[in-house]
Amino acid sequence: MSDKTSQVPSVDPPSYDAAAAQHGALLARNGGAQGKGPLPRGPFPLDMPVLNQLRGKRVILASASPRRKQILAPLGLNLEITPSTKLENLSKTDLGPLQYVLKTAEQKCLDVYELAIENSIKSMPDPALVISADTVIVTDNGRILEKPRSEVDHISMLKMLRDQKSHKCYTAVAVLAPREDARDPGYNLETSVEETKVIFDETASNELIESYVRTREGVDKAGGYGLQGMGSLLVERIEGSWDNVVGLPLRVTLALVEKAVFNQSDDEDDEEE
């Protein structure tokens, strides 16, 4: 991670004893774990230069996915949700899975950034960061699966994934930060594509699959299932990042944020000097 110092002064967190006492006092005040009222305070924000620099600034998540917002929540950023409105009509056949998911994420990121710049007014500064992502499921024969289109399609999709035993989940992340020197094109765009192998439970019954489809949990998810919910009943195990399957690999995203925000020097100019 970057060794740059933050311009935002850090505040030392309370000692472990003080934090535990604070949590206990809140529990007692609220009538215990079953009481009503606000829950005890959770973990304190990460004291990192890049996050301190972004706090209080305009950070846009170019996605309407509540799962991605939830995954990003621990970073403590004030997220503005602005999904891209452009059609995702890139050719799966011409691009292939990796390029398809990457180009889609880039397109979302640039679309939302350009829209934010166009709509910026005095009371709303230009965004300091835009984060986008796209997730697809890829079968063992290379077929790209996105969201199911109907109940029949949904059942067929999950039965196919079960019968094939394993498949891959690809999530592309694109992070954009404006350049301080406004050098063309005026921003840094950092990207990554992460892969996770998902092994379905081959003993999952048709009855379970059909019952799961009727819950409608998976209607808005690539591949038609939610690993973080009841969809876990269909999955035997995964090999790779769990949050990548959910829709946003947090560790990778944080690294891209740091790179986009801090790596703004011009290597060619440095060499000439």
pLDDT digits (tens, 9 = 90+) for 64-88: 999 999 999 999 998 999 999 887 7
pLDDT more than 70, % of the chain: 80
Collapse the DSSP code of 179 into the 3-class scheme (helix H, G, I; strand E, B; otherwise coil) and give the result.
coil
Checking if the pLDDT of 254 tops 80, the result is yes
pLDDT band at 272 (very low <50, low <70, confident <90, very high): very low
In the chain, domain spans = 47-263
Output the six-digit token pair for 190.
Answer: 């950092």
How far is it, in rounded angstroms, from Cα 154 to Cα 54?
40
CA 104 to chain CA mean position, Å: 14
Question: What local confidence, expressed as pLDDT, does residue 20 receive?
Answer: 58
What are the tens digits of pLDDT across the range 116-142? 988 876 567 889 999 999 999 999 989
Percent of the chain with pLDDT over 90: 63
Rounded Cα distance, 84 and 223, in Å: 21
CA distance 65 to 50: 24
Return mean pLDDT, the chain.
Answer: 85
Q: What gap in Å lies between CA 17 and CA 77, rounded to an integer?
A: 27
- pLDDT, residue 153, reads 95
Average pLDDT of the segment spanning 90-109: 92
Residue 91's contacts (CB-CB under 8 Å, 6 or more residues apart) are 100
pTM score: 0.81
- Phi and psi at residue 133, in whole multiples of 5°? -155, 155
Q: For residue 97, say if its preceding peptide bond is cis, omega within 30 degrees of 0.
A: no
The amino acid at residue 75 is L
Q: Is 96 left (phi over 0), alpha (psi -120 to 50) or beta?
A: left
> What's the pLDDT at 124?
75
Q: Which residues are catalytic?
A: 134
Residue that wins the pLDDT comparison between 184 and 127:
127
Of residues 41 and 2, more confidence is placed in 41
Label residue 271 by pLDDT band (50, 70, 90): very low
The three-state secondary structure class of 68 is helix
Q: State residue 84's pLDDT score.
A: 92
Class of domain 47-263: alpha beta
User: Does residue 243 register a pLDDT over 90?
Assistant: yes
157: number of Cβ within 10 Å: 23
- In whole angstroms, what is the distance from residue 206 CA to residue 197 CA? 23
In the structure encoding, which two tokens stand for residue 117, read together? 């710049």
Q: Which of 186, 195, 30, 199 is nearest to 113 (CA)?
A: 186
Task: Look at phi and psi of residue 37 and say left if phi exceeds 0, alpha if psi is from -120 to 50, else beta.
Answer: left
Q: Which amino acid, 234?
A: L
- From the number of C-beta atoms within 10 Å of its C-beta (0-12, 13-18, 19+), residue 142 rates as exposed
pLDDT for position 263: 86
Q: Which two tokens stand for residue 163?
A: 């019968």
State the Rg of the chain over Cα: 22
Q: What value does the mean pLDDT take over residues 252-258?
A: 97
